[in-house]
Amino acid sequence: MASPLNGRLRVPSDKSLSHRVALFSAMAEGTSNFLNLLDSLDVRSTLAAIEVLGAKVELDEDNDKNGLCGRITGWGSTGPKLSDSERLGSDDPAETIGSGNKLQCGNSGTTARLLLGVLGGYDITVTLEGDDSLSRRPMSRVTDPLSLMGANFEPSAHLPIKVIGCKELTAITYESLVASAQVKSAILLAGINANGITTVSEPHKSRDHTELMLPAFGAKLEVYENQVSIEGGQQLKACDCSVPADPSSAAFLLVSAAMIPGSEILVEDVLLNPTRGGFLLVMQRMGVDIAVNENPDASIGAEVCGDITVKYNERLVATTVEAHEIASLIDEIPILALLAATAKGETVFKQVSELRVKESDRLLAIINGLKALGIEAWTNDDDLHIVGGEIQPCAQVFETHGDHRLAMTWSIASRAFDLNLNIADIECVAVSYPGFFADLIRLS
């Protein structure tokens, strides 16, 4: 039997907020000071990109244990201008952004898609590139609406993409077919430099970090239910930020505690944004013992933070996760699927086709991994079905396809069920949670 997990810790800072702090600071007039920026490959890609585009990035040598600290002086009203860049404090060649008119986005979809929106509104031509995985991910969901505004992309479906920006963008009213924070954010960031009022609506409310953080940088927006509007011609202003812990990273440890007898852990300073907290509601419905305590003194823009405690409960039950909930827990589905494998009954995640176009085909990978653990799992149209049961692994090698969330999920399975699994490309966890394995050991 696996030994319990006990203790308290702070997981790495939120990745979504870290990307936005870097990008908004780069667009802003003045110097923004930041604390606890996530130090991961994805965020380093964004930092390196904005530096090549003319923002001044200064990282403190005595960074806090919770992340990067430093300053970003934005390009402000002068706009981005291509320049060569030095590496940002690392000898890792994966963090070299390149020079000339090419920007390397690595594995970061957020870097690529938000930069498409940012750069679309300036008189600049630059090519965005990515690794093999990112180059397979769809970009037309972002480039199509940006093209309607007047930006040009060659080609438009997949990286590498040449961005031919336009300083005279036209505002649009756009009804997105998918609930995607990256699509919404890219259009809104382009809308800052457009003539008129840009409006984005979506079928379900996606992550709203952009809407909550832009006002801290001086922007004015209007939000009504699943619709956001921004008026063009605004100039962002510098803002000092401290980034809270990432709920998606916290989810892996919290689910671990829910599955391993005798466990109780507390994760500190977690972002409690409702559009990111869907996994907590699902865990509660399944019978997990959860306590959430808000900290009114910790905030970034209009975001709320707090501590989350989870205790083991042996009586977990299946649930149905409806389509309108998926956007609030899309990144946590792999680890929630593992939790469902231990619950009594059949759990259904509805309308999860978005999982097919993540860092890997996560939907197929989840099913294959659960089957390798001896658990029934299948798809019916775009719904994922999982029947909880006894873990009886029939394979020892688990593929991750370079996907950090799959690597953490199968690592948790190995730890929770006291298995000796061989997990391929396990080092890819560094994309979002470089200290993941060290934290597991700390709690053991």
pLDDT at 85 over 90: no
The single residue listed with the structure tokens 């979002």 is 432
Tokens of 27: 């667009």
Average pLDDT over residues 237-254: 96
Judged by average pLDDT, the poorest of 89-98, 331-340, 412-421 is 89-98
pLDDT at 156 over 90: no
Phi, psi of 229 (to 5 degrees): -130, 145
Interhelix angle for 362-372 vs 404-416, to 10°?
Answer: 20
CATH classification number, 15-242, choose in 1.10.645.10, 3.40.50.460, 3.65.10.10, 1.10.260.40: 3.65.10.10
For residue 63, name the pLDDT band (cuts at 50, 70, 90): low
For residue 33, what are the β-bridge partners? Answer: 71
The single residue listed with the structure tokens 């940002």 is 88
Distance of CA 227 to the CA centre of its chain: 21
For residue 293, what are the β-bridge partners? Answer: 307
The answer to whether the beta carbons of residues 161 and 185 sit under 8 Å apart is: no
> What tens digit of pLDDT does each residue of 256-294 get?
999 999 999 999 999 999 999 999 999 999 999 999 999
Nearest-CA neighbor of 253 among 262, 245, 265?
A: 265
Vertex 280 angle, CA 274 and 282, to 5°:
110
> What tens digit of pLDDT does each residue of 224-242 get?
999 999 999 999 999 999 9
Amino acid at 40: S
> In angstroms, rounded to a whole number, what is the distance separating the alpha carbons of residues 365 and 91?
32
pLDDT at 71 over 80: yes
Average pLDDT over residues 36-40: 92
Average pLDDT over residues 80-99: 51
The answer to whether the beta carbons of residues 176 and 201 sit under 8 Å apart is: yes
* Higher pLDDT among residues 95 and 155, named by residue: 155
> In angstroms, rounded to a whole number, what is the distance separating the alpha carbons of residues 134 and 30?
32
pLDDT of residue 375: 97
Q: What CATH fold (topology level) applies to the domain 244-443?
A: UDP-n-acetylglucosamine1-carboxyvinyl-transferase; Chain (3.65.10)
175 Cβ neighbours under 8 A, 6+ residues apart: 201, 202
pLDDT at 24 over 80: yes
Domain residue limits, the chain: 15-242, 244-443
Query: Which uninterrupted H or E stretch holds 170?
Result: strand 169-170
pLDDT of residue 297: 74
Q: How many CB atoms lie within 10 A of CB 353?
A: 14
Query: Which uninterrupted H or E stretch holds 134?
Result: helix 132-135
For residue 186, name the pLDDT band (cuts at 50, 70, 90): very high
pLDDT of residue 100: 54
Residue 1: helix, strand or coil by DSSP?
A: coil
Amino acid at 194: A
pLDDT of residue 94: 38
pTM here is 0.87
Mean pLDDT of the chain: 92
pLDDT of residue 83: 72
Average pLDDT over residues 177-189: 95
Interhelix angle for 109-120 vs 41-52, to 10°?
Answer: 20
For residue 64, name the pLDDT band (cuts at 50, 70, 90): low
Judged by average pLDDT, the poorest of 59-63, 225-229, 413-417, 435-439 is 59-63
pLDDT at 35 over 60: yes
Average pLDDT over residues 134-139: 93
For residue 230, what are the β-bridge partners? Answer: 198, 221
> What tens digit of pLDDT does each residue of 306-354 get?
999 999 998 999 999 999 999 899 999 999 999 999 999 999 999 999 8
Q: Tell me, yes or no, if the two domains 15-242 and 244-443 fold the same way.
A: yes
DSSP letter at 100?
A: T
296 Cβ neighbours under 8 A, 6+ residues apart: none
pLDDT of residue 97: 44
> In angstroms, rounded to a whole number, what is the distance separating the alpha carbons of residues 412 and 367?
16
Average pLDDT over residues 210-225: 96
Q: Which residue in the list 331, 381, 403, 439 is annotated as catalytic?
A: 331
- Residue 331 annotated to the active site: yes
Amino acid at 4: P
pLDDT at 87 over 60: no
